[in-house]
Amino acid sequence: MDMYINKPFTNKLLDKVLDIQMKLHEVLLKDIGPYVQIVEMCDDYGMQTGMLMSPDIWREIFKPRRRDLITFVKTLAPQAKIFHHSCGSIYEIIEDLIEIGVDILNPVQPLVADMDSFRLKQEFGDRLCFHGGIDEQIAFPGDAETLVAEVKTRIYAFAPGGGYIIGPTSNIQDDTPVENVLFYIKTAKEYGRYNKSWSNTRMAV
């Protein structure tokens, strides 16, 4: 609510958070920055049905600070890819995330609003790597047939042309049978290999 009714407080708070984040990244990267391949950032902006705030509010309040953090990280690790985690439905700001320097988007939940895997690949796949994608709400705790179908679907959606790191949409949950984890690994290995019918397709498993 403060984002709407108390912006001075919101801005002061988030400026402090940004300052802490920059100092933390400086400590972590000052000596090893040139050797780091990926820097992960986490900030959830979405829920099942849409964003937690309006895209306009996000662009006003969060986008410039996230851009500043990414720019700062790039001064310490210019070669590093920026991995950004946000759960939920964030389709409306993916273009913005690309604009401010995000290279890898996680977890691309397939069952939330407006996050269709095929659509995301078509619109952003030439500029963004996708990480995750395997549903944990129904597929991972479900039967083997459902899980295998889910893994194959996400591979077919995200893998063509490359730029897909397969994985669950979160940490594997307690309701997931161990057998399903093995089915997931087996299916990913079987269908995630290079296929000549997918022109120039490579996929990380």
Q: Which of residues 89, 105, 121 is at a domain's end? A: 105
Select from 45, 75, 105 the last residue of a domain.
105
Do 142 and 183 belong to one domain? yes
Contacting residues for 96 by C-beta, under 8 A, at least 6 apart: 55, 58, 59, 63
> Strands of 81-85's sheet, edge to edge?
38-42, 81-85, 104-106, 129-134, 164-168
Asked whether residue 28 falls in the same domain as residue 18, the answer is yes
| 176 and 112 fall within a common domain | yes
Q: Are residues 93 and 193 in the same domain?
A: no
135 lies in the same domain as 71: no
What is the phi-psi region of residue 87: left when phi exceeds 0, alpha when psi lies from -120 to 50, beta otherwise?
Answer: beta
Q: Are residues 42 and 133 in the same domain?
A: no
Which of 44, 73, 105 is the endpoint of a domain? 105
**Same domain for 135 and 88:** no
What Å distances lie between residue 84 and 129, 137, 146, 195, CA to CA? Answer: 10, 21, 28, 28
Query: pLDDT at position 18, please?
Result: 98
Assess whether 111 and 98 both reside in one domain.
no
Q: Which domain holds residue 9?
A: 1-105
The pLDDT averaged over each successive group of 10 residues in the chain (205 residues) is 95 98 97 97 96 97 98 98 98 98 98 97 97 96 94 95 94 92 94 60 40
- Same structural domain, 99 and 112: no
pLDDT recorded at residue 200: 39
What is the count of structural domains for the chain?
Answer: 2
What's the predicted TM-score (pTM) here? 0.92
Q: Report pLDDT for 192.
A: 86
Same domain? For 80 and 117 the reply is no
The Cα–Cα gap between 197 and 22 comes to: 45
Question: C-alpha angle with apex 93: 13 to 49, nearest 5 degrees?
Answer: 95
Q: Same structural domain for residues 86 and 185?
A: no
